[in-house]
Amino acid sequence: MTHLSIPSLPPKERLILDLLVSHGPLFGLQLVALSDGALKRGTVYVTLGRMETKGYVRSEQEAVPPGAIGLPRRLYYPTPLGERVRDAWSHMARALLPEMQS
Amino acid sequence: MTAVTPNPRQPGERLVKLATRLFDEPTRSTFVIPALADYQQELGEAGASTTKQLMAHVRGYAAFARLVVAAPFIVPSAPMGSPVTTFVTGKYGGNLLLVLALALFAAIRPLFGWFAVAVIGLGIALAIALRLWNNSHPDARGGAADPLLTLLAVALFAAIWSMFGWFVLAAVAGGVIMAIALRRWNTRHPSELAPTSRKPNAEINLSSIPVAGDIAGLLFVIGAIITVLLGLPDIRWFVLASVVVGAVLAGGLFAWRSSRSTALTPANSILRR
């Protein structure tokens, strides 16, 4: 039997998509702050990098104002694919909820 | 907004320099620099409060340390260019395994004497021969190595005959029975894992042997442990400790994997068959 390659969406990636969809574009540190401890500093970028590879999010470097000397941060946006995958997983979770609860 | 500080020496400058040594450019720009930018941002927001500054330093360094530990295992470009990732996953990792193997042989040398030296010599000769053969037959499948492996197994059993006597015959018979039982079980319960399209290499490489996490794999592990315990009763406590540590590690990996994947992916369905 051939298995379809369904895009996976682990809980952390789902949480990130939820936050990006509900709050708009966010920096990594803002995602950590909004996640109530579910996302950790440092490794959040590994998750975001993986999601970027999958095409769920895109990022752009913030514009550095003249005179600023800090390192530039990255701002993350949900992609249309990421939003569709999130919607599909939400539908599936709702459809399976009665069986999962029994 | 990016933090602006009057201090010409930026906080985290040393970490940036360290990151240059530890990570390749894609890893640095994608994972490390944003984390260090957060560190600088938090430090800028801490203002003059010493406590807040201290907490920002702790969080920043902790995030960097977590990245250093985690990146070699999960960054897609891990084997490329970074000393840390190369050490763990690249040829240095292989060299480390070689050193560990030699240390293991040195440790069992008193038990087996010159036999251990002969095994090392034969193993190296076989590895070189297989590599040369593989280089000259790049399109060949793994079957050509089978007679060599069988020959090696027979030579190994013949060499340890004098030390273990009838145990060798019992081990051979037990191994054959177990192989037949596993084959029959596997025929009746075919794996649901998608077949890989990768062509197997004609070389001895444990990572190329597909071992499914099912009852057959468990039987194989139990059989291997019993064989080692019967053959080397002196190391029974070491084996027992290894089993406990291995079980804990496996449980942790399973929990980690379960938390990252979904219940409906094919890779997890093998546990339910």
Domain boundaries, chain A: 11-63+71-101
B35 Cβ under 8 Å from any chain A Cβ:
yes
* Among A residues 17-76, those touching chain B with beta carbons less than 8 Å apart: 27-29, 40-43, 45-46, 49-50, 52-53, 62, 64-65, 67-74
- Please give the order of strands across the beta sheet that includes A26-27: A26-27, A74-78, A57-61
Per-residue pLDDT at B5: 47
Q: What is the identity of the amino acid at B256?
A: W
Tell me the C-alpha distance between B83 and B154, whole Å: 41
Angstrom CA distances, B23 to A29, B62, B269, stand at 21, 17, 36
Is-contact B239 B228, C-beta < 8 A? yes
Is-contact A16 A31, C-beta < 8 A? yes
Length of chain B: 273
Q: Is B119 helix (H, G, I), strand (E, B) or coil?
A: helix
Helices within chain B (DSSP H only): 13-22, 25-27, 33-46, 50-74, 83-89, 91-112, 114-136, 146-159, 161-164, 166-188, 215-231, 236-260, 266-269
Q: What's the whole-model pTM score? A: 0.47
- Which residue carries 């298995």 as its tokens? A3
- Which residue carries 């099912």 as its tokens? B214
Tell me the C-alpha distance between B100 and A92, whole Å: 48
CATH number for the region A11-63+71-101 comes to 1.10.10.10
B258 Cβ under 8 Å from any chain A Cβ:
no
Tell me the C-alpha distance between A16 and B224, whole Å: 44
Is-contact A77 A64, C-beta < 8 A? no
Tell me the C-alpha distance between B205 and B209, whole Å: 7
* pLDDT over 80 at A71, yes or no: yes
The total of other beta-carbon atoms located within 10 Å of residue B269's CB is 13
pLDDT tens for chain B, residues 1 to 273: 454 444 556 777 888 888 887 777 777 888 888 888 888 888 888 888 888 888 888 888 888 887 777 766 665 554 444 555 555 555 555 566 666 667 776 776 677 677 777 777 777 777 777 777 766 766 655 555 566 666 777 777 777 777 767 777 777 778 778 777 777 777 776 655 544 555 555 555 555 555 556 666 677 777 777 777 777 777 778 878 888 888 888 888 877 877 765 544 444 444 433
Is-contact B56 B42, C-beta < 8 A? yes
- The predicted model gives A76-101 an average pLDDT of 87
Chain B CB contacts of A27 below 8 Å: 38
State the complex-level ipTM: 0.79
